Chains A and B, each alone.
Chain A
């Protein structure tokens, strides 16, 4: 008897779930208030918890590091001297670059996009999808489609926003594909997420013309072709470029600049690509 009731309840709940799924698929704004309500309650707790977890992690790492610190200090002192010298040289060059830029009237506006800092407060614990949640949302002016950076490199794109949170799809997600180009030659390629390559900390570099002038070590930046990503954002460096067996195209991998294994803080660029034209 009881098992029959359970069966009815199961059928009922399964139908409800399907109905909700269909509704959310057709009109995502219907379920947004529910998501928003849950997140409004949970976000503060998540903020506290991840800070706590990250704190312990950092503490343990710090203890382990303490041993190497004095050795490192020595070598760092040496490199500081070298860097000071290099810095002087670069300063001189940067002045020259500045002069040349104004000469060519190059647009370097992407350097000065307004950015918002946010903290990563939740991550998918399973590895099927590479999404994460940050603690800034509509209230801070975040909109879907904004580009997300970390450690100087592209990390992903905001896919969904709530009042005090946003979801970000990382570029290492297999759904992600970013139009990119070589910074030097401006030849285009596509940066795709690939779970297998990411085991080794790499992304896939595809859709390169066989004559594309992209070599190992070249900086790969977002291309103007992309409708979602702002042009000129550094993604990483080309690696293992080779011509495919059919001699029609080249392929390779990309070493990302951002550290995806240890994402804590990210920067969100408030300029949308769609608004630029």
Chain B
């Protein structure tokens, strides 16, 4: 007897599976419980984002303090290895991963950070980087300059301050994306990190990640998450740096109305993320 199903088998199978499913009695539950669980998750998520932002401000201003506070102190490029020489005020944390080295700033930086500027994205230590992120995104996704916000006006960063030192693990910004004739606003979020891909905010913001093949220069792994209203991509580079780009039709912080269509294709976004120009503070 042949095991090969006849042509009508898929159709009959569908009917039978749906009949089988109809026999499964779901438990009696209240939607109120689902709402409560959702609200708790949302609160945790917002709290985590808030903590990340607070740490970011401290770290960013700390970077500024080290950069401009003393002629002998300087921050360290996390990809270049430990600082050498007695004049360096920066140290690197002991991280077991050879490609995961957050920039850790010493205690004086934290103290000086309390005198920080009110608009950290304008500080000279990070403003040029944020502008360079914007330029890279514009070159890849908006070469005609019709959609992308002209200047960064926020900083998105990750890191930690433990009272003794502060460690920068990610730096980024959110750039508005507008469409001529539309009142809505989308967003391109950029995040450049030096820890694992799983630790980035963009990775944690989505659940739909899948790994994709890529032959982009300097990229060892690439990921794509397509979700309703947007696409996010992430690349892990051979130098250990991770770059995430999230293109969302709705800039949730600044608009309640999405723009039509997501800026950029997956290939464009991956090429953008793979651009070697994305760096962290030196």
A binds B: no
Chain A interface (Cβ within 8 Å of chain B)?
none
